Amino acid sequence: MALALALPALSSTVRRTRVQHRRARYEHTVSYRARQRRAHDERMVDYRARHRVRYRRAALVSAETPRETPIALTRIRFVPPLRGSRASLLRQNERDDAEGLVRIADDAQLDEFEEEGKLVPVPASMGLRVNAALPMDRRYCRPWTARFLADLARSHFQRFGRPLQVNSAVRTIAFQRHLELINGNAAPAEGDLASPHLTGAAVDIGKRGMSFQEIAWMRAWLLPLEMAGKIDVEEEFEQACFHIDVYQNYVHAPATTPRRHRATTTLLAAQVP
């Protein structure tokens, strides 16, 4: 009987305790969120104050400094072709002779140059492939030409995500004589107008499959180097390629010069839309 009378009082006490716990949890949650909100507001006020000062300083600096239009914002709508000429071919042979480059007579001399390190493999990579029709023993070039190809392929791949293709590299006098018989546009194997490929310093980059934008970019990338006397370019249309003769000063110049010319080349090419 006493137990029956005590049960209602016990249950009401339990209910009050539960309500008190819920209220305490609710008040704790509200208080916690309020503290978090105040802390957040204080951080935001401090953040805005600090950045307001920074923006004011930047505005003062920009007001004191004359503005210049960034070179990359000036778009080049048309880059003229880098056409070859008789004078260009003469100049290439004169430069190669001045640098003491020997024209490779036959396969035996070609093998000798490879063993001595005077010729190195074309630096094939994700950004540079070699025409599958080019024989393995002619996939070589001078070390400075290999450096040039690596730089060019890297810049082109970063811009377009596609590889360039080398269609021709070193040749021998024996092969050039054979080429004269089957190709009316082939340069002579001897004389002042001999093919620069015979020294191993020249390469042909194929244009077939390139977009108009890629061709314009190539012209813009190559032009500063040609103006600086580091390369000579003949853009061929019948064979659809860029014939490029690379000179030793591409890598043998003072330490600051190649970096400056590569920067100029990259900036000019970046202006091609």
pLDDT, block means (10 residues), the chain with 273 residues: 57 68 69 74 68 50 43 60 88 94 93 94 95 94 96 95 96 89 78 90 95 94 94 91 95 55 56 54
Rounded Cα–Cα distance for residues 154 and 164 (Å): 10
**DSSP labels, 86-126:** HHHHHHHHHHHHHTTPPPP-SHHHHHHHHHHTSSEE---BT
Q: What is the dihedral of CA 145, 147, 151, 154, to 10 degrees?
A: 110
Rounded Cα gap, residues 137 and 171, in angstroms: 9
pLDDT at 127: 95
Q: Give the model's pLDDT for residue 217.
A: 95
Q: What b/e sequence results for 239-251 when a residue is b if at least 16 CB atoms lie within 10 Å of its CB, and e otherwise?
A: bebbbbbbbbbbb
**Cα 176 from Cα 188, distance rounded (Å):** 7
Q: For residues 144 and 200, what is the distance between their CA atoms, to the nearest angstrom?
A: 10
Q: Break the chain into its structural domains and give their ranges.
A: 24-67, 75-270
**pLDDT for res 49:** 63
pLDDT of residue 66: 43
Q: For the structural domain made of 75-270, what CATH number should be given?
A: 3.30.1380.10
pTM, two decimals, is: 0.67
The reported pLDDT for the residue numbered 17 is 75
The pLDDT value recorded for residue 215 is 94
